[in-house]
Structures are given as structure tokens and as C-alpha cells.
Structure 1
Amino acid sequence: MHLKEDFPTLIQNKQPGTSETTMRKNFITPKLVAVLDRCQLSMRDSVFILEATIEALGYNTDEFPISKSSIQRIRTEKRKERAEAIKVRFQNEVPDVVTVHWDGKLLPALDTRKSKEERLPIVISYANKEQLINVPRLESSSGSGQAQAVWNAIVDWNLEDKVQILCCDTTASNTGHINGACVLLEQKLNRDMLIFACRHHVYELVLKSVFEVKISQVTANPDIPLFKKFRDNWNGVDPDKAQCYKKKLALHLTVSEIDNLLEFYRTELTKEIVRDDYRELIELSVIFLGGDTQRKFKIRPPGAMHQARWMARAIYSLKISLLSDQFKITIKDKTALLDVCLFIVTSYVKPWLQCILAVKAPYQDLCFLKSMKAYEKIDKSISKAALQKIIQHLWYLTDEISVLSLFDDDVDQETKGKMVENLTKENLSTHGKRYIPSKEELCGPLYEKNIYDFISVRSKSLFDRLKIDDSFLHECPATWSSNASFQEARKKVSTLRAVNDAAERAVKLIQDYHGVITVEEEQKQFLLRCVQEHRKIYPDCKKQTLKRKFIE
């Protein structure tokens, strides 16, 4: 669907209290409406800015519709037109297989009779694209309430036959066996679905368990006493005088292992990193490993603490450990923090950064499981806590999802060959949506398994679900790089995301625009859709970016 912008067009304007009409120049285009919305400008602020701009350009302000009522009417109309055009364009372009993401957020209620309201951003993703389709208000945040809201959005956008993957956090309201949103959505869709449990959420749970076993006070509230004390005394420390823990690291890691970690972190820093806290975590890890010999990285002042973000606790812990010589801290707390930081830097940050791609999830989770078992040699309490948590979340080691490792470059050809052989193997286990190890497996065999041990004849269902031509399975893995069907299959699965970041970005969007510009429900949905589109087209205000066409 195409929209055309002319500057300016003539519109008919009726004079209040008379039958006279005048012709006004309508210069408020869809792009201008999107900019006003993105910048959160009220109708009143828009009048001041537009009137001054028209005057500065040498035009007669009487010739333009710049009253509050005119601007509100035009913005409302064009916002609706644009939002509907976005929906039609999406429906024309959407492929046969998509993922639906959702994540609830409790916000201040706009209704004076209530103090809070639950919103559920719902996002569709495919390839490298994301589309916010709705942010409904929930009467109940239960599994049934969320499932109904997601289902309504899917039906409204005609996606009933296209949604094949459900991506969400692993809370009971989402993944419960009876009343979880995923189970209820499967019933509504009348078919079995792939469940992509958010791996960032899973790994944050692992980090939480490690903190709990080492430092009990970190779970009490967002204002953790130790971290608050560090923040309050920041002006008394010199961030350029960070400690080096090479001797401590040498007790547990070889020189080559430390060098490999540093190489990995330095390579990550050359990539485009979406979040600033990810970059900060990597930089602190390099400093901790003694890799910042040229002192390129600066330890930033401690930022906000959030109860739900264990990433912030990791960053705080690293800063306190690196600057502990300048900060009054008990030996017990210093030792505990150092143990946590050693785990974070050597065993946690790397898998965290590699969480995103679904094709890497099965093999990486298996490797992390084994590494936590091996961590017993360094710290038994951390190893036990991490294992107890990750074992509860082996979502990517089920028959159907583990076969994604065929497309993982970290898996060697010999292993892929054995995976193909096992595609004919019957599997009598009934793990369902996640792999649940038996007591016998937990005693040892689980940690000896390879990724091909999780493959069976049921793994083939993935190819049907994702509409993948599996003819490459008849060829030797060594020839797959030149096999057309493999390359096409790899292209399809390589963009699948195993994290719920798309929904988290939508949560941030609704937080930014909650109660802004409009409180009318339909217009709120239109506004969020239009702002998301404008942010995609213009992620920054560089001149080259601003030259991009707003309307195709």
C-alpha cells in the first residue's frame, strides 16, 4: 500500500459560526505526524513549534491549519492511515513461518479508579524483522488471559496458519503444563507448537541462583546495601586504579584459556552491540582478565539498579571487585564477590552473549551444562547452584529443537553425520516441550552425552513445521556447503531468535509512550505502530540516515 505526500496540499476549512469556507495549505504529512509522535509532542507544543517554523520559512501562518483542533484532527487521521498501511504491507510480505513473542508489563493505570494496569506487548518476528501487532490491556495476567490476548492479535492480523513458534519467558503463567499460555495457545491453534524459551531469561535465572548461594543480601530488594554503599562512595575511588586478578585466574585457567577468552571478548567489541550494558560487561571482563594493558576502557560510575535485571548485579559486582582496594568492604563480602566475578568472567558472559541464535542454542546449552559440571573443581557451591537451575530449563535439547545443531558451525562434520544417522532412531522418552533428565542421567551419563544423543526420528518434524527441504540429509555433511537445499534451509533457520528481546523492546516502547499524546485505546495502538516504524527507518539522526525515504 503506497501513500503519497505533497507539500503543501489544499484543504477546505469552514469558519466557525459562519457558512464561509477558506482554502488552507495542509503541510502535515504522515512523516511529520510520525516525528511529532516519536518526539512525544502534545497538540499544544506542536502548535508553538509549527507556527514558529512556518514563520521562520517566510510563509503566512494564516494560510496553514495550525490550531490545536486542526492539528489534532489531522494527526489522528494520518496516524490511522499510516498504521493501517503498515498492517496491510506486513500482511502482504509476511512469510509462511513466523514467531510470536509476548511479555507482560505492569504500568500506572490511566483510569483513576485503578492504580495499575497490565499491558501485554505482542510482536511477530521473521528473518531480521519485527512487527508490533498489539499492546492490549489485560484484565488478568494469568496464562489464560495472556493466551486470549495473543490469540486475538493473531486472528486480527490473519496469522493463524503462519505462527509456528512461541517465544516467551519461562514463568509459570507462560509455560505451565495445564493453564500456561503456551499450552492454551496450542489448543486455540489446534496444533503442536515449537516453544522457544527466552535464553536470556534462563541464563539470568542461573546468575540469580549463583548470587543467592554466595551473597544472600543481593536478592532482598533493588537497593542492595553493598551496592548502594559503593554507589554512595563512588566519588572517593579512582576508577583508573583497578586491580588485576591474573594470579587468582592462574590458579584455575591456563594461559591459553585466558588468551582465548580475551580474544573472544575483543572480537565481540568489534561487533555492533545493541545495548550499552552488554558492552560495559564485556569491557569489565577484559579489565578483570588483565587484558586492558593500554587502559583503553574506563570504569563508568555505577548506574541504576533494577530487581529484574541480574545483568546490573553482574556489572556492580565486577566494579566493586576491581576497585575493592579503595572501598571499605569485609573480607567475607570481598571473597564472595570475587568468586561470583570469576564465574561471570570465565563461564557466564560468553554463553550469555551467544544466547541469541536458535541454531546455536542446543549445542551451547549442552556445553554450558558440561562446563558447570567441570566447575566443581573451582567452586562446588556455584557449580551445584548453576546446575540445579539450568537442568530445569533444557528447552533446546528436545528431539525437535536439538536438530537445529545441523546448521551450527560449532558442531563438527563427524557429529553432524551421527545426527543424521540418529534421525531413524526411535525414542521412547516423553520429554514433551523440554528435556527433563532422569535421576540416573544426573548421576553422570547426562554429562557424557553428545548432541547427537538427543536426536531421533521425531526430530524430522522440524523440517515439516518450518517447510524445509531436507533432501540434503541424503548427502555427506562435507558436501553441504555447496548443497542448494542445505543453503536454503540454513538461510531459513539462521535468523530464528531464541531470546525474547523483541518483546522487551516493545515493553520499553509502551513504557515510553504510556499516557502520552493520547489515552484513546485505538489511537494508542496506532501511535505505537507508527513510532516503531519511524524508529526502524531512522534509528539515529545522522544526515545520511535522515535522507532515507519515509514512504516507498
Structure 2
Amino acid sequence: MATVNRRYLIAPLQNIAGSQIPSEEEVLGLLICRIEVKKKSVREAANDVVKIVIELWLKARIPFQRKDTILAKIEKLHKEFGNVKRNMGRAGSQAVREEVFKKRTKNLFDVAATNALDVLTNEEDKAFLLTQRKPGRRGQLGSVDTRLAAVEARAAQRRELQERQRQRAEDEASTSMTPVELESSSISADETAEEESGDDEEARPPKRPRRAMTNVITPSVAACLDRTKMTDRGAVHVLSAAAHSLGHDVSKLNINRSSIRRHRRKHRTDARVALKEELRGGCTLIVLWDGKLMQNLTTKKNVERLPILVSGNGTVQLLNVLKLPNGTGSEMAKAVVGALEDWDLTERIGGMSFDTTSSNTGRNNGACVLIEQQLKKYHHWKFIDRSQFEPGDSHPHVRPLLDPVEKNWFQSTLINHKGLRDDYRELLELTVIFLGQELVALALFDPLVTVEEKRQILTSLHITVGDESPAKRPKLPSQAVSGLQLQDMASTNTRRFFQKLRLEDGFLDADPATWLEREDFRTAAAFVEEIAVINDHAERGVALIQEYNRRLTQDEEQLQFLLQVVSRHRAKFPDSRKKTVAVGVAAHQEQEH
């Protein structure tokens, strides 16, 4: 231990020598020497000390913390020393403080990894760390383990040899890919080549056979292999047989497992980038999600998976199928918002579609509420597909029998019955949500609603002042719903429907009989017609991850890319009929050109 001179409490040190890992006193001594003697800043001095500390811990063969963590600990120790030094020379309790600090710095400057004792396999190393952690740092580093040193030296030689072999292989590959000059009609060029080669031709080593350069894994082929769950090794056999049957020389084609794997991974990444570009635009979207418990990629432990999709403008796009630590509303909200931010869609979300579980619809911690808070949009909608509740046509002789059920039993039994089951009550409440002050605007696009009814809705829309914060769901049975008409639900709040979907609403000031002649109404009607909001899409996302989980990859990122590629391919080729495939291929070729 080489000292410089004596200072307050801690002696500056140039370096550390010994058979122990450093104490706090030694670390402070190294730091003070570089600050006060070498005139370095605290950060520069701390960086120098970090290197010395890491070198000593490496010598002890004990796992240690990250460099930035060690740096922060050194700076914190220096700050504590400064607090003690600030009151230097004072009477009273200062002497006690100095004694406590001096005694403390005799102990180990502990930067061992939190799991160091679990990682260490040598019992002597474990015992050494434990004794160093005791007051006074008892224990010494043993002599050099010659056997272990020889093993590590051989391992280093192997790594160096592998690196040289890898570099040589890359050089040969790059050489084999250089353009080959074809035969020229120029005689002088041929003669020059012969003169340059001369007698050296016999001295040259034999050339290695050129690698096949014709690639067969196009984005379309890669997507087909992913959709059909074809492994890389299986693809080698299928592609080779198909190429041979079409009259190609398989030896000239780049068909091997590693090349196929590399190209498939590349095309998946490229497909994700293309999907993000295709989804750019200004139309409003609906976000859908649905959770499912399933087996993890690499272990037998079950994990929560959350497929997240968006729909709008006639398309449905899978964003992610994320793995969650649990199925709480907080985790689901975090995953949904994260996916929307990743795809840059947070400003385009106008509604949500999800299953009515407590984790989604909880009043305080439900995913729906938390997503609204995080997106700072407090009036999203929960859509219910009306086709799920529309009755079909009844036979003329049966209709009179059903009328009493529809008018009397529905109201008296389902709404007013005190023992109503919770799931029935929830269904009724959700059905009425569809007819809220905002969503009643959907009736304006319904061809089954008469022109006169639409006029009455418009009258209420212009005259009736809506609630500042309308209820998102009615309270049954206290809130009467029988006898209500569509116009009774419309108010000035109904215009919010068009604002949130970014739709022109100029036609609301015109007579409904003339709407079909107006471009703004036709545009809005087409948009509303194409909104896919039923949760079947999220359930298809669940089925997709169940089908491909643990099949083609164990890499989480590649799994996300794989699911997006398959989802896109299924949208382009919904079935395997020849006509469908031909149309899809033609559309793809036209898009490429």
C-alpha cells in the first residue's frame, strides 16, 4: 500500500497492493489522491478508481456489479466523507462521528453482484467473500490456482482460434461473392490474362467451389413458410424437391437451413416496418384486446398473453401479443398503451373493444379507465356489435305469440326482477350503452330507421342540452328505460360522436331526405359501416398465438414479427383456393411494380 502523505482521517493512496479486495478506506484514499494530488475532477477520479476496483474484483474471481453502479457508490462514499469533513475541528459530537466513520471505512467496499453467492461454484471463493464482508475484512486471497489458470488459458486460446476461423470464413465468403468476369470477344484481353497467369497457375492452390448465389427465399415464400408452420429443415426438403421438379439445378440454388433461417428472420423484420408504414394515416381507429393464459416460450410455466389489435377504415391489424407478469387491469393498460405508442397510434384511438371482465371494466383499476387516463382521453366508447342482438324475421303465425314476451316479460322479468343474475344484468346494461347520448348517432346511418325518426333525433340534437358528464352505463332497475325512443337519447352531446371519429357533420344541418345526395354523409356512412368493433378479432388474435406458440421460434421479438406476418398473409389469402391465390399473387406483383 503506497501512501502519499497524511490527511484528515483518510490517507491518499497511489495504488493498492495486497491479498484482499479493497475496503472503503482504500477506495477513498485512491479517490482523494487523484482529486487533491493529481487535480482531477470527482467524476474523472471516480472513473479511474472504478477501473482499479474492477481489476481487483476480477482477480478475486467474484462477480461484481455494473460499472455505473460502482461509480455511483464511489461518488456517494466521497459525499459522505465530505459531510464528516465539513465539521472538522468542532467540539462535542464531531469526535464521535469521526470515530464511527473511521471504523466503518475499515470494512469491505462491497460491490459484489446480488446473486454472487449463487453464481460462485468454488466453495473457497464463497468462503472468501463471506469473510471479507465481516468487520475488519478477515481472510486473504490464496495462491494462484495453476490448474484453473491453465484451463482459462486454453479457453482463451480456443476463443482466439474460433475468432480467426470466423474472420477467415467471412473473408472467403466475401471473396467468393465478387463478380466474375465473363469471356470477352476481345482477343487482346484474353492474351493479357494468359500472360499474367503464366507459370504461376500451377503454384496456385485449387479454388474452392463457388457458393450458390441464387436466392429463393423471397418475402412471399418466407410468409408462406411461416403461415404453414414449416421448419427451416423442412423447408430445405420442400424447396429442393419443388425446384428439382421445375427443372432447376438445386446445386446452384441457395437452399440450406442457415440461409433460410437468416432470410426468414430478415423478412419478418422488414414486414413489420412495412406494416407500420401501411398503417400510417389520419383515420380514427378502435383498439381491441383479449387476454389468455398459456404456456411460456421457453419454460412450462403459464403466462398471461394479451393480443392487441386495431380496426378502422375496413382493416384489422395485429399490433402485438405481449407477455404480461399478471392479468390485472394495470398491466393490461400498460401493455395496450405501450403498443399504441410503439406504433405511433395514440392520437388516432377513438374507441375500445374488450370483454366485460372486472379487470377491464373495474371502476378504479380497470384497464379501460386506466387507458383513458394514460391517453388523456376520457370519452372512449365501448362498442357492441348490433348484429349480436338483432332478431331475425319471424313467421307471421309466430309473431303474435312473441309480442307479449317482447313487451311484457322482457320488462317485468328481466328488468324489474330483484333476483336478476349479474351476467343477465350486465348484458342488459351493455345493450343500453349502445343507445347512449353519443352513440345514438349510429341510428342516423341505419337504413331501418325512418326519415321521420331521424328528423326527430336531429331536433333533440339541436335543442336538448346534454349532460356535461353523461353516465357511461345506466343503473338498473332504478333508471327506467321502457318507453324511451331514439330521440329521447339524443342531445347536444351526440355531436361528440363525429368529433371523436373526425367525421364531417355538416349534413346534420340538412334534411335527412337529402343526405344520400351529400358527399359528407356518404363518406361518414362508409366509415361507420367499415368499423370492425366486435371482439371476435381479439379472439382470433388469441387463437393465433395459441396456434404458433412454441412452434417456430423461442425468441420473443421474432414471435411478435412472426404473428404479424401470418396475420397479414391470412388477410391477403383467406383460403387456399387457386383463384384466391392467383388474385393475391397478382395484387402482390402489381404492388411491387
TM-score range, shorter chain: 0.5 to 0.7
Q: Equivalent residue for 2:219?
A: 30
2:273 aligned to which of 73, 84, 90: 84
Contact 2:296 2:303 in 1 (8 A): yes
Q: Equivalent residue for 1:48?
A: 237
Is it true that 1:439 corresponds to 2:474 in the alignment? no
Contact 2:306 2:323 in 1 (8 A): yes
The separation in 2 between residues aligned to 1:23 and 1:184, in whole angstroms, is 55
Deviation at 1:258, TM superposition (A): 4.1
- In the TM superposition, what whole-angstrom CA distance separates every residue of 1:163-205 from its partner, at most 9, and x where no partner exists? 11111111111111111111111111112232224459997xx
Deviation at 1:33, TM superposition (A): 0.7
- In the TM superposition, what whole-angstrom CA distance separates every residue of 1:46-81 from its partner, at most 9, and x where no partner exists? 112122222222322222222222221122122222
- In the TM superposition, what whole-angstrom CA distance separates every residue of 1:84-104 from its partner, at most 9, and x where no partner exists? 22222222xx33311111111
Q: Which amino acid aligns with 2:292?
A: K
Contact 1:369 1:447 in 2 (8 A): no
Contact 1:13 1:24 in 2 (8 A): no
* TM-score under structure 1 length normalisation: 0.62
Is it true that 1:146 corresponds to 2:318 in the alignment? no
Contact 1:373 1:447 in 2 (8 A): no
Q: Equivalent residue for 2:449?
A: 411
Q: Which amino acid aligns with 2:297?
A: L
Matched residue SS, 2:233 = helix
Contact 1:134 1:153 in 2 (8 A): yes
The separation in 1 between residues aligned to 2:292 and 2:387, in whole angstroms, is 15
Deviation at 1:115, TM superposition (A): 2.2
The separation in 2 between residues aligned to 1:26 and 1:202, in whole angstroms, is 49
Deviation at 1:152, TM superposition (A): 0.7
The separation in 1 between residues aligned to 2:353 and 2:406, in whole angstroms, is 22
Contact 1:170 1:197 in 2 (8 A): no
1:256 aligned to which of 380, 396, 401: 396
Is it true that 1:458 corresponds to 2:493 in the alignment? yes
Deviation at 1:468, TM superposition (A): 2.0
- In the TM superposition, what whole-angstrom CA distance separates every residue of 1:246-304 from its partner, at most 9, and x where no partner exists? xxxxxxx99515489xxxxxxxxxxxxxxxxxxxxxxxxxxxxxxxxxxxxxxxxxxxx
1:95 aligned to which of 267, 272, 282: 282
Is it true that 1:60 corresponds to 2:249 in the alignment? yes
Q: Equivalent residue for 1:318?
A: none
The separation in 2 between residues aligned to 1:439 and 1:373, in whole angstroms, is 16
Alignment of 1:113-152 (within 5 A): 114-152=300-338
Contact 2:286 2:533 in 1 (8 A): no
The separation in 1 between residues aligned to 2:340 and 2:406, in whole angstroms, is 36
1:193 aligned to which of 375, 379, 394: 379
Q: Equivalent residue for 1:391?
A: 428
Contact 1:12 1:23 in 2 (8 A): no
The separation in 2 between residues aligned to 1:383 and 1:515, in whole angstroms, is 44
* Aligned residue pair count: 380
Q: Which amino acid aligns with 2:333?
A: A
The separation in 2 between residues aligned to 1:257 and 1:151, in whole angstroms, is 53
Is it true that 1:535 corresponds to 2:535 in the alignment? no
Q: Equivalent residue for 2:41?
A: none
Q: Which deviates more, 56-65 or 429-438?
A: 429-438
The separation in 1 between residues aligned to 2:467 and 2:456, in whole angstroms, is 19
Q: Which deviates more, 150-159 or 43-52?
A: 43-52
Contact 2:288 2:533 in 1 (8 A): no
Q: Which amino acid aligns with 1:392?
A: E
- Runs of 5+ in structure 1 lacking a partner? 1-10, 204-252, 261-341, 348-367
Contact 2:303 2:323 in 1 (8 A): yes
Distance 1:386 1:184, change over 3 A: closer
Distance 1:438 1:258, change over 3 A: closer
Q: Equivalent residue for 2:200?
A: none
Contact 2:243 2:249 in 1 (8 A): yes
Matched residue SS, 2:550 = coil
Q: Which deviates more, 539-548 or 131-140?
A: 539-548
Contact 1:175 1:183 in 2 (8 A): yes
Q: Equivalent residue for 2:552?
A: 517
Distance 1:201 1:195, change over 3 A: farther
Q: Equivalent residue for 1:268?
A: none
Contact 1:121 1:507 in 2 (8 A): yes
Is it true that 1:494 corresponds to 2:529 in the alignment? yes
Q: Which amino acid aligns with 1:178?
A: N
The separation in 2 between residues aligned to 1:23 and 1:167, in whole angstroms, is 51
Matched residue SS, 1:409 = coil
Q: Equivalent residue for 2:60?
A: none
Matched residue SS, 1:439 = coil
2:439 aligned to which of 393, 396, 401: 401
- In the TM superposition, what whole-angstrom CA distance separates every residue of 1:206-249 from its partner, at most 9, and x where no partner exists? xxxxxxxxxxxxxxxxxxxxxxxxxxxxxxxxxxxxxxxxxxxx
Q: Which has the higher contact order (CA 8 A, sep 6+)?
A: 1
Contact 1:126 1:496 in 2 (8 A): yes
Matched residue SS, 1:51 = helix
Q: Equivalent residue for 1:467?
A: 502
Q: Equivalent residue for 1:303?
A: none
What's the C-alpha RMSD, in Å, of the aligned pairs? 3.5
The separation in 1 between residues aligned to 2:339 and 2:387, in whole angstroms, is 24
Q: Equivalent residue for 2:187?
A: none
Contact 1:419 1:452 in 2 (8 A): yes
- In the TM superposition, what whole-angstrom CA distance separates every residue of 1:450-485 from its partner, at most 9, and x where no partner exists? 121111111221121112222222222222222332
The separation in 2 between residues aligned to 1:385 and 1:188, in whole angstroms, is 30
Deviation at 1:449, TM superposition (A): 0.9
Matched residue SS, 1:151 = helix
Contact 1:107 1:511 in 2 (8 A): yes
Is it true that 1:104 corresponds to 2:291 in the alignment? yes
Contact 1:398 1:435 in 2 (8 A): no
Q: Equivalent residue for 2:460?
A: 422
The separation in 1 between residues aligned to 2:472 and 2:244, in whole angstroms, is 63
The separation in 2 between residues aligned to 1:39 and 1:430, in whole angstroms, is 50
Is it true that 1:156 corresponds to 2:307 in the alignment? no
Distance 1:201 1:96, change over 3 A: closer
2:369 aligned to which of 172, 183, 186: 183
Is it true that 1:483 corresponds to 2:521 in the alignment? no
Matched residue SS, 1:485 = helix
The separation in 1 between residues aligned to 2:518 and 2:452, in whole angstroms, is 17
Alignment of 1:248-397 (within 5 A): 255-256=395-396, 258=398, 373=410, 388-393=425-430, 394-397=432-435
